[in-house]
Amino acid sequence: MFLSSKKSKNKTLFSKNEINLNLLIILLIINFSIFSTNQDNRYLNQIKKSLQFGPQSISLIFEFGANLLNDVSSYFIFKQNLLSENEKLQKENAELKAHVMQMADIESENRELNNKLNIQKKYFKDSLITQILNLNYQGQNHHFLVDKGEEDGVYIGQIVVDKSGIVGQVIAVNNNSSVIRTILSNQLYLTGYIKSGKNIYQSLIQGDGKNLTVNYFNKTNKINLGDEIFTTGDNLNIPKGLRIGKVKKFLNTELNDFYKLIIEPSSNPYKERFLVIVK
Measured from the Cβ of residue 108, the count of other Cβ atoms closer than 10 Å reads: 11
**Residues 6 or more apart whose Cβ sits within 8 Å of residue 265:** 165, 183, 184, 211, 212, 244, 245
Beta strand pairing call for 178-182 and 165-173: antiparallel
Calpha distance 131→146 (Å, rounded): 5
Q: Poorest-confidence range of 68-82, 124-138, 141-155?
A: 68-82
Position with higher pLDDT, 95 vs 169? 169
Summarize the confidence of residues 121-137 as an average pLDDT.
Answer: 74
| Contact predicate 196/209, CB 8 Å | no
In this predicted model, what pLDDT tens digit does every residue of 73-88 receive, in sequence order?
676 777 777 778 778 7
- pTM exceeds 0.85: no
Residue type at position 132 = I
Q: What is the pLDDT of residue 268?
A: 84
**Residues 6 or more apart whose Cβ sits within 8 Å of residue 209:** 141, 142, 184, 185, 186
Distances, alpha carbon 17 to alpha carbons 13, 23, 24, 29, 150, in Å? 7, 10, 11, 19, 136
3-class DSSP assignment, residue 115: helix
Q: Is the pLDDT of residue 151 over 80?
A: yes
Closest to 170 (Cα-Cα) out of 143, 195, 202 = 143
Residues counted in the chain: 279
3-class DSSP assignment, residue 126: coil
Calpha distance 168→141 (Å, rounded): 13
Closest to 231 (Cα-Cα) out of 277, 191, 263 = 191
| Contact predicate 275/169, CB 8 Å | no
Residue 276 DSSP code: E
In this predicted model, what pLDDT tens digit does every residue of 251-263 receive, in sequence order?
999 999 999 999 9
Q: What percent of the chain is modeled with pLDDT above 70?
A: 60
Q: Is the pLDDT of residue 140 over 60?
A: yes
Q: Poorest-confidence range of 22-31, 146-155, 235-244?
A: 22-31
Distances, alpha carbon 34 to alpha carbons 27, 45, 49, 62, 126, in Å? 11, 15, 21, 40, 127
Q: Is the pLDDT of residue 49 over 70?
A: no
Q: What is the pLDDT of residue 104?
A: 58
| Contact predicate 196/227, CB 8 Å | yes
